[in-house]
Structure 1
Amino acid sequence: MGVTRSQRWVLALVCAVAVSTIYAIQPVLETAGTGLGLARGSLGWLVAAGQVGYFAGLVLLVPLGDVLNRRRLITVHLVLTAVGAVVVAVAPNGVVAVAGLVVAGLFAVVVQVTVAYVAAVSAPNERGRNIGAVTSGVVIGILGVRVLAGVLGDTVGWRAVYALLAVLCVALALTVRATLDSDSRTPGARYAQVLASMGRLVRTDRLFLSRGLITLFLFASFGTLWSGLALPLGTDPWNFGTTQIGLFAVVGLAGALGAGRAGRWADSGRAQVITGSALVLLTASWLLIARTESTLLLLIIGIVLLDFAVQAVHVSSQHLLTAAHPNRASSVIGAYMACYSLGSALGAITTTWAYSTWGWSAACWLGAAYSLSALVLWGLAQVTGRTAASSPEPQPKSREAATLQC
C-alpha cells in the first residue's frame, strides 16, 4: 500500500478542479448575474448555492466513503460534478444556474473522499506528507480559479469557465479509474451506522471538538481575506479590475504550496507545534494585510504568510484526526470539513458587513480576531489536555496519535 508521486499529482488535481466549481462564480459574479438576468440584490444566491450543496454533501455523501469503494466513489462524484458544471454553463436563467451550482457543490465533496482515500492507503510515516500534498490542491483550486475565471470572464465569457471545469472533471474521472489502486478494504459498516457515528463524534470526541472549532475560526479568518479583498482593491487608490484582483491569488498560491512541508513535520510528531506556530503567524499576518492604503508590498507578504499558516494548520488537523480514527476516515473528514464550510461562510458574511460599516481596517481586525480565537482554543487544549480522552480505536495508531494531547 502507498501513494506514488504521480498518484499524488492526480489526486491533488482532483481536489483543485472539484473545489473550483464552487468558487469559480465569485470573480465573474456581476457578469454572470447580468447574463442570467438577475438583479444585483439576488447575486448572493449564486455564491450561496455551491456552499449549500457542498455542506449537504459533507453530511450526506462523504460518509459513503466508509461504506463503498472509494476509488469508484471518486470517479462517480467527478462525473456528477461535471454534470452540475455543464448545467451552469448552459443555464438560460438564474434558477437553472443556481440548480447547477447546487449539484456541482453537492458532488464537489469528492475532495473529502479523496483525502480519506489518501489517508487510508498511505503508510503511517507518510500519511501527513501525502495529505499535505493532496490538500494543497484545495487551496490551489480556491485561489487559482480566481485567476482563471477572471481571465476567461474578460476574454471568452463567464460560461467558458464552467465548460472547461466540466471537461477537466470528466478527464480526471477517467484518469482516476486508470491510475489509482483499488480500495482494498472491506467496509463493514452500514450507511446509517456511519451517520450515527458522525453524531457521536461531534458530541463526545474531544479531539474532534477541539480541531473542529479551531478549523471553524481558521477558515473564518481565511474567508475574511478572500471574500473581502476585492472591496478595497476595487476602489481608490488602486481601482483594480477583475483580472488584476484575481492575480493576487497567485500570491496566495506561493504560501499554500510552501505549507506542503507541514505534512512532513506532522509525520515526525510535530503537528501540535506546527498548529500553534502557524496560528501565531496567521494572527500576525493581519497586521500587514491591513496596510493597503499606500503600498501593496506589505499586503502581498501578509497574503503569503496567511495562506501558508492556514494550510499548515489544515494539514496538521487532518493528520491528527485520520491517525486517531483510521477506520472511519471519510466520516471524520466529512464532519471536520463541515466546520470548514461554516467557518468560510462566517468569514464571507461578516467581512462584507464590517467593510461596509467601518472599512477595510475593521474587516482586518475581524480576521485577526478569528485567528486569535483559534490560537486561544489551541492553547487551552494544550494546558487542560481535554482531548487526551479521545475515543480509542481498536487498530494500531501512529506514534503521535497514541500520545496526542489535542
Structure 2
Amino acid sequence: MSTSNASAPASADPSLRGLLLLLATIAGVAVANIYYNQPLLDNFRQSFPASASWVGVVPAVTQLGYAAGMLLLAPLGDRFDRRALILLQTAGMCIALVVAAAAPALPVLVAASLAIGVLATIAQQAVPFAAELAPPSQRGHAVGTVMSGLLLGILLARTAAGFVAEYFGWRAVFAASVLALLALAVVIVLRLPKSKPTSTLSYGKLLVSMWHLVVEHRALREASLTGAALFAGFSIFWSVLALLLAGPPFHLGPQAAGLFGIVGAAGALAAPLAGKFADRRGPRAIITLSIVLVAISFVVFGFSAKSIAGLVIGVIVLDVGVQAAQISNQSRIYALKPDARSRVNTVYMVAYFIGGALGSAVGAAVWPVFGWVGVSVAGLVFAGLAAWNHLALQARTAND
C-alpha cells in the first residue's frame, strides 16, 4: 500500500480494522519484551551464582532502556516513516534478544536487556500510527484498540515467560521472542502501509520542543510524576514476586510467577471503566481513587508473605489502581496540547518508565535486606509520594 493510500481516506478502507489489530499485535509483542525477565529472576540467580545478588538489575535496566528509547527514538515517528522505523527497531531487537539468549554472564545479559528496553519502543510508534490511519470519527477507538494490545502484552508477558522457562529454560524465552518478531516482521512488510511524516523539525528541535512542553504545562509535570510514582510501586512488586514465590513456603517456579500475569489481566479488564467515570466526574477524582487502591494493595501484600490468596487479591487491586490512573492521566495530558500529542505522550511515558526502573532497582536493593515486608513498605512509600504530588498540585491550583 502506498503512502498516499495510507494517509487518504482511511474511513473508506475496509481493511482498517485489520490494520488496527496488526498495530495492536505489534505493540503487545514489542512491549512484552520488557517484562519477560521479571518471572525469570530466580533462574538468572541459578545460572549466574557469582552475581546472584545483582539479578534485580536486569528488569531495572530494561525499563530504564525503555525510558531512554522513548526519549530518543519515539519522537522520530513525527519525522520519518513509522513503518520503516518499526522494521529497523524489530531487526535490532532480534539481535539484542539473541545476545540475551546466549549470555554467558550476567553483565552481558544486563547489556542486552538495556538494548531490548531501548528498542521495545516499537510499541510507541504503533499508537500514533493508529491515530494517523483512522479518520477523526474513529480515532479514539483506533488508539484504544492499540492500547488494549499494549496492555495485554504487558500483563501476559510474565505468563508466557514463566510457562516457556518452566519447560524449556529461561534462554528459550528470548529465543521464542525472536521467532515471534521475525514472523511479525513478515506480516508488517506485507500488510502495513507507509506513514506520512507530520513534522519537518530537525531531530534536535523535536527533543527541545518536549522540554518546552514540560516547562509550559504544570499539569503535565504533575501527571508525569504521579504516574512515575505509581508505576514504581507496580514494578517493585513484579520485579520481586518471582523471588518470593521461589522461597519458603511456596517453592514455586517461574510458571507460577507468570500465572499472576493472568490474574493481573483479569483485574485490568475493569480499568477501562475508569475512562467512562473520568468523563463523568473528571480524571482527577479517578486518579485519587487509584492512588488509594495502590496503597491498599501494598497493605494487603504486607500481610500476604505466606498467602497465595492474599497475593492474588493484592495483584487485582494493584493492577486496577495503576491502569485506572494511567487511563485518567493520559486523558488529562492529551487535552493539554492537541497538536503535540506524540511529544506530550513521550514526556509522560519517559517519566513513567524512569519510575518503573527506579521501582525495580529499589525492589532489588530492599529484598535482600528487609524481605517482603520491606518491599511492601517501599511500595506504600511510592503510593504516598504519588498522593503528595497529586494533592499538592490540587492545593496549588485552588490557591491560584
Q: TM-score range by the shorter chain?
A: 0.7 to 0.9
- What CA deviation, in whole Å up to 9, does each residue of 1:9-57 have, x standing for no partner? 3333222221222222332344346557863245355444433432321
Partner of 1:172: 184
Q: Structure 1 residues 225, 102: closer, same or farther in 2, change over 3 A?
A: closer
Indicate the RMSD between aligned Cα atoms, in angstroms. 3.1
Contact map agreement 1:65 1:73 (CA 8 A) in 2 = yes
Letter aligned with residue 229 of structure 1: L
Q: Which position in structure 1 is the counterpart of 2:206?
A: 194
Q: Residues 127 and 319 of structure 1 are in contact (CA less than 8 Å); yes or no, is this contact kept in structure 2?
A: no
| 1:339 matched to 2:351 | yes
1:323 to 2:332 alignment: no
Q: Among residues 31, 56, 62, which one is paired with 1:19 in the alignment? A: 31
Q: What percent identity do the matched residue pairs reach?
A: 33
> Is the counterpart of residue 223 in structure 1 residue 223 in structure 2?
no
SS of residue in 2 equivalent to 1:243: helix
Structure-2 separation of matches of 1:193 and 1:275: 33
Amino acid of the structure 2 residue aligned with 1:292: S
Is 1:57 aligned with 2:69? yes
Cα deviation digits, residues 331-360 of structure 1 (max 9, x gap): 322221121122112222223444444442
- Contact conserved, 2:217 with 2:336, CA < 8 A, in 1? no
Aligned to 1:404: none
- TM-superposed CA distance for 1:304, in Å, is 0.8
Verify: 1:381 aligned to 2:372, yes or no: no
Map of 1:279 onto structure 2: 291
**CA separation of 1:365 and 1:28: change in aligned 2, threshold 3 A:** closer
Match of 1:392 in 2: none
How far did 1:112 drift? 1.8
- Identify which range, 188-197 or 133-142, moves more after superposition: 133-142
- Describe the SS at the equivalent of 1:284: helix
Match of residue 161 from structure 2: 149
Segment drifting more, 303-312 vs 144-153: 144-153
Count of residues in Structure 1 that have an aligned counterpart in Structure 2? 388
**Mapping 1:384-403, distance limit 5 Å:** 384-385=396-397
Aligned AA (1:337)? M
Measured in 2, the distance between the counterparts of 1:286 and 1:242 equals 22
Q: What stretches of structure 1 of length at least 5 have no aligned partner? A: 389-406
> 1:292, 1:299 within 8 Å by CA — same for their partners in 2?
yes
**Structure 2 residue 367 is the aligned partner of structure 1 residue 367:** no
User: 1:223·1:344 contact (CA, 8 Å) conserved in 2?
Assistant: yes
Q: d(CA) in 2 for partners of 1:387 and 1:208?
A: 19
Q: Is contact 1:12-1:137 (8 Å) kept? A: yes
2:91 pairs, out of 61, 71, 79, with 79
Task: Provide the residue aligned with 1:348 in structure 2.
Answer: 360
Q: 1:324 to 1:356 in 2, by over 3 A?
A: same
- 1:343–1:110 Cα change, 3 Å: same
Match of 1:255 in 2: 267
Selected match of 1:43 from 26, 41, 55: 55
Q: Is the Cα–Cα contact under 8 Å of residues 30 and 120 in structure 2 kept in the other structure?
A: yes
Aligned partner of 1:106 in structure 2 is: 118
Q: TM-score, normalised by structure 1?
A: 0.83
Equivalent in the alignment of 1:67: 79
Residue 212 (structure 1) shift: 0.8
Structure 1 Cα separation of the partners of residues 108 and 329 of structure 2: 37
C-alpha displacement of 1:163: 1.6
